[in-house]
Amino acid sequence: MNNRYLEILGLAPGATERDIKAAYRRLAKKYHPDTSDEPDAEARFIEITEAYNFLLEVGPTPNEETTAYEYNPYAEEYEARRARARAYARQKAAEAAKNRAHTLRQFYRVTTPLMLIAALFDILLVLDYVIPAQKHDEKVQRVYRVFATSTRGGDQNWNYDAIEFEHFTLQVGKKEAIGLELPNRAEVAVTPLLRTIKRATFQTAQEEIQLKPAYGFYRVFGLLIPMILVGSFFYFWLPYLNEHKITASIITLIAFAIQLFLF
């Protein structure tokens, strides 16, 4: 036992009771199972508690500076103190696990319905896209430019072209429609469920002109659909206490919020 417990607490022979208590408070706070991120926190906490109990209760009076601490404690008392330290560490670890489980239950109580809605909505989007499109013969009402006001200086920026039909409006890239001599009628293909335009086909005497949306669920932001579906899969597949389950839910719900904004 040659000064082993003093070394655990980082003390030198002759340490006073006040020194021991101060060292214990500092180390116990650092390695407490509830708050420490150290991989060996529980084992270190048990060791620190054992050293503290030994020096103050089992061993000689610590404020007697002439004491060398070089003797063996009674075996029964030593084991009892060690068992109590282990029990205390286990109790604290169990309490921390219980609190974490309660927090996760509250978190999943909110996220699970939202994740289910996100998954079902994007499954609907996929089905809407793969089901054969409905085709409508539509008259062109007008072709115009769409401008957006710049946040700096208030300038008007030409964002995209728009073709307004009788029942639909197609947004295409800048200069894709303006300047073209388009017929006044077109075959417009739309998805059967959400009525989203997939393409508009114009037939001239010389050629067939096909225009597709530049924006929307299935174009620029189409990656949101597989992202949400993959995130939902991992959320419902991962175990309850897996930290990646939380990450999957946060990323997926952010993507879903962007998707709803675009909708």
pLDDT for 68 equals 46
Whether residue 193 contacts residue 124, with contact meaning beta carbons closer than 8 Å, is answered with yes
- Residue of 178, 176, 216, 221 whose CA lies nearest to 197: 216
Whether residue 28 contacts residue 42, with contact meaning beta carbons closer than 8 Å, is answered with no
Q: CB neighbours (10 Å) of residue 68?
A: 10
**Cβ neighbours of residue 241 closer than 8 Å, sequence gap 6 or more:** 100, 101, 104
Low-confidence ranges of the chain (pLDDT < 50): 1-2, 60-74
pLDDT for 227 equals 93
pLDDT for 155 equals 64
- Domain formed by 4-73, architecture: Orthogonal Bundle (1.10)
Measured between alpha carbons, how far is 28 from 8 in angstroms, rounded to an integer?
Answer: 12
pLDDT tens digits for 48-71? 888 888 888 765 444 444 444 444
**Domain layout of the chain by residue ranges:** 4-73, 99-128+223-262, 132-211
Backbone angles phi, psi at 31, to 5 degrees: -110, 20
pLDDT for 65 equals 44
| DSSP annotation string for 164-230 | EESS-EEEE-TTSSTT----SEEEEEE-TTT--EEEEEEE-SS-EEEE--SSSTTTTTTTHHHHHHH
pLDDT for 83 equals 80
pLDDT for 163 equals 92
- In single-letter form, the type of residue at position 73 comes to P
Taking the alpha carbons at both ends of the chain, their separation in whole angstroms is 72
